[in-house]
Amino acid sequence: MRVVSGHQDDRNPALEQGSYPDDSLRWQSFVSSVRSIPVLADSVYRLSNLLMISPVDLATVSKVMLADVGLAAQVLKIANSGIAETPIHDLEAAIVHLGVEPIRAFILTVPVLPSDSPTPVLRLWEHCRECAQACASLATALGQAPSRAYIAGLLHDLGRIPLVAWALATYPFSSAHGAELVFTSPGQEDSRFGINHQVIGGWMAVTWDLPDFLVEGAEQHHALSATPNSGLVNLVRAADKFSYFCSGLARKREVLEALAPVAIRETEEQLLSCMNEGFQEWQVSLHQLPNYSRKDVP
Protein backbone atom coordinates (compact mmCIF):
# COMPACT_ATOMS: atom_id res chain seq x y z
CA MET A 1 0.00 0.00 0.00
CA ARG A 2 1.30 3.42 -0.90
CA VAL A 3 1.37 5.92 1.97
CA VAL A 4 0.49 9.50 1.04
CA SER A 5 2.28 12.02 3.19
CA GLY A 6 1.03 15.29 1.72
CA HIS A 7 4.53 16.78 1.78
CA GLN A 8 6.72 18.41 -0.83
CA ASP A 9 7.60 15.20 -2.71
CA ASP A 10 3.92 14.62 -3.54
CA ARG A 11 3.70 17.71 -5.75
CA ASN A 12 1.96 17.11 -9.07
CA PRO A 13 4.01 18.37 -12.05
CA ALA A 14 0.84 19.49 -13.80
CA LEU A 15 0.65 22.41 -11.37
CA GLU A 16 4.26 23.47 -11.02
CA GLN A 17 4.14 26.40 -13.42
CA GLY A 18 3.78 29.78 -11.74
CA SER A 19 2.98 30.72 -8.16
CA TYR A 20 -0.73 29.97 -8.41
CA PRO A 21 -2.58 27.55 -10.69
CA ASP A 22 -4.72 30.20 -12.44
CA ASP A 23 -4.85 28.34 -15.75
CA SER A 24 -8.00 26.21 -15.94
CA LEU A 25 -6.39 23.97 -18.57
CA ARG A 26 -3.64 23.03 -16.13
CA TRP A 27 -6.27 22.32 -13.48
CA GLN A 28 -8.22 20.16 -15.89
CA SER A 29 -5.02 18.26 -16.67
CA PHE A 30 -4.38 17.83 -12.96
CA VAL A 31 -7.91 16.65 -12.18
CA SER A 32 -7.87 14.17 -15.06
CA SER A 33 -4.67 12.71 -13.56
CA VAL A 34 -6.40 12.06 -10.21
CA ARG A 35 -7.11 8.35 -10.57
CA SER A 36 -7.67 7.72 -6.88
CA ILE A 37 -7.92 9.55 -3.59
CA PRO A 38 -6.32 8.41 -0.34
CA VAL A 39 -7.96 6.37 2.38
CA LEU A 40 -7.48 6.59 6.14
CA ALA A 41 -5.09 3.93 7.43
CA ASP A 42 -7.54 2.86 10.15
CA SER A 43 -10.23 2.21 7.51
CA VAL A 44 -7.86 0.06 5.47
CA TYR A 45 -6.89 -1.95 8.57
CA ARG A 46 -10.49 -2.59 9.52
CA LEU A 47 -11.55 -3.46 6.00
CA SER A 48 -8.57 -5.76 5.37
CA ASN A 49 -9.40 -7.80 8.45
CA LEU A 50 -13.11 -7.90 7.66
CA LEU A 51 -12.34 -9.28 4.20
CA MET A 52 -10.27 -12.12 5.72
CA ILE A 53 -13.21 -13.47 7.71
CA SER A 54 -15.38 -16.07 5.95
CA PRO A 55 -18.16 -15.53 5.13
CA VAL A 56 -17.61 -11.81 4.51
CA ASP A 57 -20.16 -9.59 6.22
CA LEU A 58 -21.00 -7.23 3.34
CA ALA A 59 -23.22 -5.01 5.49
CA THR A 60 -20.35 -4.36 7.90
CA VAL A 61 -17.91 -3.85 5.03
CA SER A 62 -20.29 -1.23 3.64
CA LYS A 63 -20.50 0.46 7.05
CA VAL A 64 -16.72 0.80 7.23
CA MET A 65 -16.58 2.17 3.69
CA LEU A 66 -19.30 4.70 4.46
CA ALA A 67 -17.10 6.15 7.21
CA ASP A 68 -14.32 6.99 4.75
CA VAL A 69 -14.58 9.42 1.83
CA GLY A 70 -11.76 7.78 -0.11
CA LEU A 71 -13.15 4.25 0.14
CA ALA A 72 -16.71 5.22 -0.78
CA ALA A 73 -15.66 7.41 -3.71
CA GLN A 74 -13.30 4.88 -5.23
CA VAL A 75 -15.61 1.87 -4.87
CA LEU A 76 -18.41 3.83 -6.54
CA LYS A 77 -15.98 4.94 -9.23
CA ILE A 78 -14.96 1.36 -10.00
CA ALA A 79 -18.56 0.11 -9.89
CA ASN A 80 -19.67 2.80 -12.35
CA SER A 81 -16.80 2.28 -14.78
CA GLY A 82 -18.63 0.17 -17.32
CA ILE A 83 -19.42 -2.79 -15.04
CA ALA A 84 -23.06 -1.94 -14.33
CA GLU A 85 -25.64 -1.18 -17.01
CA THR A 86 -27.21 1.57 -14.88
CA PRO A 87 -25.51 4.02 -12.48
CA ILE A 88 -24.91 2.64 -8.99
CA HIS A 89 -25.27 4.97 -6.02
CA ASP A 90 -25.78 2.46 -3.22
CA LEU A 91 -22.52 1.24 -1.70
CA GLU A 92 -23.82 -2.22 -0.81
CA ALA A 93 -25.01 -2.65 -4.41
CA ALA A 94 -21.56 -1.57 -5.61
CA ILE A 95 -19.89 -4.16 -3.37
CA VAL A 96 -22.17 -6.91 -4.66
CA HIS A 97 -21.48 -5.92 -8.27
CA LEU A 98 -17.72 -5.89 -7.74
CA GLY A 99 -17.43 -9.00 -5.60
CA VAL A 100 -15.18 -9.70 -2.63
CA GLU A 101 -12.01 -10.65 -4.52
CA PRO A 102 -11.79 -7.41 -6.57
CA ILE A 103 -12.30 -5.42 -3.38
CA ARG A 104 -9.49 -7.36 -1.70
CA ALA A 105 -7.23 -6.51 -4.65
CA PHE A 106 -8.35 -2.88 -4.50
CA ILE A 107 -7.36 -2.63 -0.82
CA LEU A 108 -3.83 -3.80 -1.66
CA THR A 109 -3.30 -0.91 -4.09
CA VAL A 110 -5.17 1.95 -2.44
CA PRO A 111 -3.11 5.02 -1.37
CA VAL A 112 -3.17 5.27 2.42
CA LEU A 113 -3.25 8.28 4.71
CA PRO A 114 -1.21 7.70 7.88
CA SER A 115 -2.77 8.42 11.26
CA ASP A 116 -0.49 11.46 11.64
CA SER A 117 -1.67 13.06 8.39
CA PRO A 118 -1.83 16.88 8.31
CA THR A 119 -4.76 18.35 10.21
CA PRO A 120 -6.60 19.68 7.11
CA VAL A 121 -6.73 16.21 5.57
CA LEU A 122 -8.18 14.56 8.67
CA ARG A 123 -10.52 17.49 9.25
CA LEU A 124 -11.81 17.27 5.68
CA TRP A 125 -12.67 13.58 6.16
CA GLU A 126 -14.46 14.46 9.40
CA HIS A 127 -16.39 17.31 7.77
CA CYS A 128 -17.56 15.05 4.93
CA ARG A 129 -18.78 12.41 7.37
CA GLU A 130 -20.58 15.06 9.42
CA CYS A 131 -22.27 16.36 6.30
CA ALA A 132 -23.21 12.83 5.24
CA GLN A 133 -24.87 12.04 8.55
CA ALA A 134 -26.69 15.38 8.62
CA CYS A 135 -27.92 14.71 5.07
CA ALA A 136 -29.22 11.28 6.01
CA SER A 137 -30.99 12.60 9.11
CA LEU A 138 -32.56 15.40 7.09
CA ALA A 139 -33.70 12.99 4.36
CA THR A 140 -35.27 10.69 6.96
CA ALA A 141 -37.18 13.61 8.47
CA LEU A 142 -38.45 14.53 5.01
CA GLY A 143 -39.45 10.99 4.08
CA GLN A 144 -36.67 10.57 1.51
CA ALA A 145 -34.10 7.82 1.00
CA PRO A 146 -31.34 8.32 3.61
CA SER A 147 -28.79 6.10 1.83
CA ARG A 148 -28.74 8.27 -1.30
CA ALA A 149 -28.62 11.44 0.81
CA TYR A 150 -25.76 10.05 2.90
CA ILE A 151 -23.53 9.31 -0.09
CA ALA A 152 -24.34 12.72 -1.61
CA GLY A 153 -23.24 14.40 1.61
CA LEU A 154 -20.16 12.21 1.96
CA LEU A 155 -18.86 13.08 -1.52
CA HIS A 156 -20.02 16.70 -1.77
CA ASP A 157 -16.50 18.04 -1.12
CA LEU A 158 -14.74 15.68 -3.51
CA GLY A 159 -13.19 18.71 -5.19
CA ARG A 160 -11.50 19.91 -2.01
CA ILE A 161 -9.21 16.89 -1.92
CA PRO A 162 -6.96 17.99 -4.83
CA LEU A 163 -6.95 21.58 -3.52
CA VAL A 164 -5.89 20.54 -0.03
CA ALA A 165 -3.28 18.12 -1.40
CA TRP A 166 -1.80 20.75 -3.69
CA ALA A 167 -1.75 23.44 -1.00
CA LEU A 168 -0.04 21.14 1.51
CA ALA A 169 2.56 20.11 -1.07
CA THR A 170 3.27 23.69 -2.12
CA TYR A 171 3.13 25.95 0.91
CA PRO A 172 4.44 25.75 4.50
CA PHE A 173 1.64 24.60 6.76
CA SER A 174 0.73 25.26 10.37
CA SER A 175 -1.84 23.04 12.08
CA ALA A 176 -3.47 26.18 13.49
CA HIS A 177 -4.64 27.03 9.98
CA GLY A 178 -6.31 23.74 9.13
CA ALA A 179 -9.80 25.22 8.86
CA GLU A 180 -8.58 27.67 6.23
CA LEU A 181 -8.17 24.83 3.74
CA VAL A 182 -11.28 22.85 4.71
CA PHE A 183 -13.87 25.59 5.15
CA THR A 184 -12.89 28.13 2.48
CA SER A 185 -15.65 29.51 0.27
CA PRO A 186 -15.63 29.11 -3.53
CA GLY A 187 -14.90 32.82 -3.83
CA GLN A 188 -11.87 32.58 -1.56
CA GLU A 189 -10.60 29.60 -3.54
CA ASP A 190 -11.10 31.42 -6.84
CA SER A 191 -8.95 34.26 -5.51
CA ARG A 192 -6.22 31.98 -4.20
CA PHE A 193 -6.16 29.14 -6.73
CA GLY A 194 -7.96 30.49 -9.78
CA ILE A 195 -10.58 27.75 -9.38
CA ASN A 196 -12.83 26.35 -6.64
CA HIS A 197 -13.73 22.98 -5.22
CA GLN A 198 -17.21 22.94 -6.77
CA VAL A 199 -15.78 23.09 -10.30
CA ILE A 200 -13.13 20.49 -9.50
CA GLY A 201 -15.65 18.23 -7.76
CA GLY A 202 -17.96 18.37 -10.76
CA TRP A 203 -15.08 17.48 -13.10
CA MET A 204 -14.04 14.56 -10.91
CA ALA A 205 -17.57 13.19 -10.58
CA VAL A 206 -18.13 13.37 -14.33
CA THR A 207 -14.70 11.88 -15.12
CA TRP A 208 -15.39 9.02 -12.71
CA ASP A 209 -18.85 8.34 -14.24
CA LEU A 210 -20.60 8.90 -10.91
CA PRO A 211 -24.41 9.26 -10.93
CA ASP A 212 -25.86 12.66 -11.85
CA PHE A 213 -27.06 13.45 -8.33
CA LEU A 214 -23.47 13.15 -7.05
CA VAL A 215 -22.24 15.44 -9.83
CA GLU A 216 -24.88 18.02 -8.92
CA GLY A 217 -24.12 17.77 -5.21
CA ALA A 218 -20.40 18.29 -5.80
CA GLU A 219 -20.75 21.28 -8.12
CA GLN A 220 -23.80 23.11 -6.71
CA HIS A 221 -23.81 22.78 -2.91
CA HIS A 222 -22.72 26.41 -2.43
CA ALA A 223 -25.01 27.84 -5.12
CA LEU A 224 -27.29 30.63 -3.88
CA SER A 225 -30.19 29.77 -6.19
CA ALA A 226 -31.75 27.27 -3.80
CA THR A 227 -35.32 26.39 -4.73
CA PRO A 228 -37.84 23.91 -3.32
CA ASN A 229 -37.81 20.38 -4.79
CA SER A 230 -34.38 20.68 -6.40
CA GLY A 231 -33.32 17.14 -5.58
CA LEU A 232 -30.61 16.45 -3.04
CA VAL A 233 -28.64 19.65 -3.61
CA ASN A 234 -30.64 21.62 -1.05
CA LEU A 235 -30.18 18.85 1.51
CA VAL A 236 -26.44 18.81 0.92
CA ARG A 237 -26.28 22.60 1.17
CA ALA A 238 -28.12 22.59 4.50
CA ALA A 239 -26.04 19.69 5.86
CA ASP A 240 -22.84 21.44 4.80
CA LYS A 241 -23.88 24.58 6.65
CA PHE A 242 -24.81 22.46 9.67
CA SER A 243 -21.27 21.03 9.76
CA TYR A 244 -19.89 24.57 9.64
CA PHE A 245 -22.20 25.40 12.55
CA CYS A 246 -20.95 22.40 14.57
CA SER A 247 -17.39 23.66 13.99
CA GLY A 248 -18.27 27.17 15.19
CA LEU A 249 -17.89 28.62 11.69
CA ALA A 250 -21.55 29.42 11.01
CA ARG A 251 -24.41 30.86 13.02
CA LYS A 252 -27.66 29.09 13.78
CA ARG A 253 -29.47 31.66 11.66
CA GLU A 254 -27.41 30.60 8.63
CA VAL A 255 -28.36 26.94 9.13
CA LEU A 256 -32.05 27.84 9.42
CA GLU A 257 -31.80 29.89 6.24
CA ALA A 258 -30.23 26.94 4.43
CA LEU A 259 -33.05 24.71 5.69
CA ALA A 260 -35.80 27.05 4.45
CA PRO A 261 -36.01 25.57 0.91
CA VAL A 262 -36.65 22.06 2.25
CA ALA A 263 -38.86 22.98 5.23
CA ILE A 264 -42.22 22.15 3.67
CA ARG A 265 -43.93 19.79 6.13
CA GLU A 266 -41.68 20.60 9.10
CA THR A 267 -40.29 23.88 10.39
CA GLU A 268 -36.63 24.78 10.10
CA GLU A 269 -36.27 24.36 13.86
CA GLN A 270 -37.72 20.84 13.73
CA LEU A 271 -35.36 19.85 10.93
CA LEU A 272 -32.40 21.27 12.81
CA SER A 273 -33.41 19.22 15.83
CA CYS A 274 -33.48 16.05 13.66
CA MET A 275 -29.97 16.79 12.39
CA ASN A 276 -28.72 17.38 15.93
CA GLU A 277 -30.12 14.06 17.11
CA GLY A 278 -28.69 12.21 14.12
CA PHE A 279 -25.32 13.86 14.62
CA GLN A 280 -25.15 12.74 18.25
CA GLU A 281 -26.11 9.16 17.34
CA TRP A 282 -23.51 9.15 14.55
CA GLN A 283 -20.75 10.24 16.95
CA VAL A 284 -21.56 7.25 19.14
CA SER A 285 -21.85 4.72 16.28
CA LEU A 286 -18.63 5.94 14.66
CA HIS A 287 -16.66 4.63 17.64
CA GLN A 288 -18.46 1.28 17.47
CA LEU A 289 -17.19 0.30 14.02
CA PRO A 290 -15.69 -3.22 14.05
CA ASN A 291 -11.95 -3.40 14.54
CA TYR A 292 -11.23 -7.09 14.00
CA SER A 293 -7.75 -8.45 14.55
CA ARG A 294 -6.13 -11.52 13.07
CA LYS A 295 -7.11 -13.62 16.08
CA ASP A 296 -10.75 -13.23 14.99
CA VAL A 297 -10.05 -14.99 11.69
CA PRO A 298 -11.15 -18.65 11.69
**Last residue in a domain, options 113, 144, 172:** 113
157 neighbors 124 (Cβ within 8 angstroms): yes
What pLDDT does residue 293 have?
41
| Tens digits of pLDDT across the chain (298 residues) | 333 433 333 344 433 444 444 466 777 666 666 667 888 888 888 898 898 888 888 888 988 898 899 889 888 888 887 655 677 878 888 888 888 888 888 888 888 887 677 778 888 888 998 999 999 999 999 888 898 899 999 999 999 988 887 777 776 655 555 567 788 889 988 888 888 999 999 988 888 888 889 999 999 999 875 554 467 899 999 999 999 998 888 899 999 999 998 888 889 999 998 888 877 776 656 555 544 443 343 3
157 neighbors 201 (Cβ within 8 angstroms): yes
| Spatial CA neighbour of 24 closest among 223, 224, 202, 225 | 202
pTM of the model: 0.81
Q: Provide DSSP, 68-100.
A: -HHHHHHHHHHHTTTTSSS----HHHHHHHH-H
Q: What is the span of the domain harbouring residue 259?
A: 117-286
| Cα 18 to Cα 217: distance, rounded to the nearest angstrom | 31
38 neighbors 111 (Cβ within 8 angstroms): yes
What pLDDT does residue 34 have?
67
| Spatial CA neighbour of 216 closest among 228, 224, 206 | 206
| Cα 75 to Cα 195: distance, rounded to the nearest angstrom | 27
In a domain, 185, yes or no: yes
DSSP-derived secondary structure letter, 4: P
What pLDDT does residue 195 have?
86
| Same domain, yes or no: 147 and 195 | yes
**Last residue in a domain, options 81, 113, 145:** 113
In a domain, 230, yes or no: yes
| Same domain, yes or no: 134 and 229 | yes
DSSP-derived secondary structure letter, 211: -
| Same domain, yes or no: 220 and 94 | no
In a domain, 277, yes or no: yes
Domain harbouring 278, CATH code: 1.10.3210.10
What pLDDT does residue 58 have?
86
Length, in residues, of the chain: 298
What pLDDT does residue 297 have?
34
| Cα 44 to Cα 41: distance, rounded to the nearest angstrom | 5
